[in-house]
Structure 1
């Protein structure tokens, strides 16, 4: 499994968002990006994490960050997730987990004592030049955004 580290070039990609519009990472050059991978829309942990990003969006954007969420869900399910929870940032669909693979956010993990293969909840902070500033693997859904804001020196909204 490939993992990324500080200073690595962030793999470029183009994925469909919740409205089936193509979104490319390269379109965000010159801006800082928080790219986070989560297992499944509308599940308890993923909802907690997405809502934490939603509630911190003002302070993150004020500090110059764009937030992008990535899962294997279809654009239709992502649209429902966005509407249900008032999410105001793009949710990207990676059904074949190719982008997950490129970022090392797909692999073996423990789930209720069993080893399974799936999404490794991960967050990447990408600088204006498209390089990894922070690669955070196997993060917890609860409290992650607050810890990330602290790492980035971004006060709560």
Structure 2
């Protein structure tokens, strides 16, 4: 059995979540359905996908990688009608950032304090990245459920 570093495992999990988000976006039969909100559903699949891309690009790319990415979180939830290919493009950019930035971190680096407070809380890099994996997968599940509800 091979031993994988924590940061390598997190990198794989984030990349997998981003790839699955792309697959979900591609599975929508009608591109306009990505933007449907009904009843108590406050976020469309398109907005959730933009949010996933924005979160990864911000926290991994800008905060850890200092790559200059500027996030507009408000637009992640307010934009409508963005073409499917643009959403996928943003998710692919996030996928490119993950192995580059996380590939430069050592396990020792992950025990340091994450450079940005989240909700007023201080996290280690390791704990925050695990939290980010959960966050991505939570929204991925919402997108999957949204798509299946609309297509049933």
What TM-score, normalized to structure 1? Answer: 0.30
* Structure with higher strand content: 1
Greater CA radius of gyration, 1 or 2? 2
Q: Which has the higher helix share?
A: 2
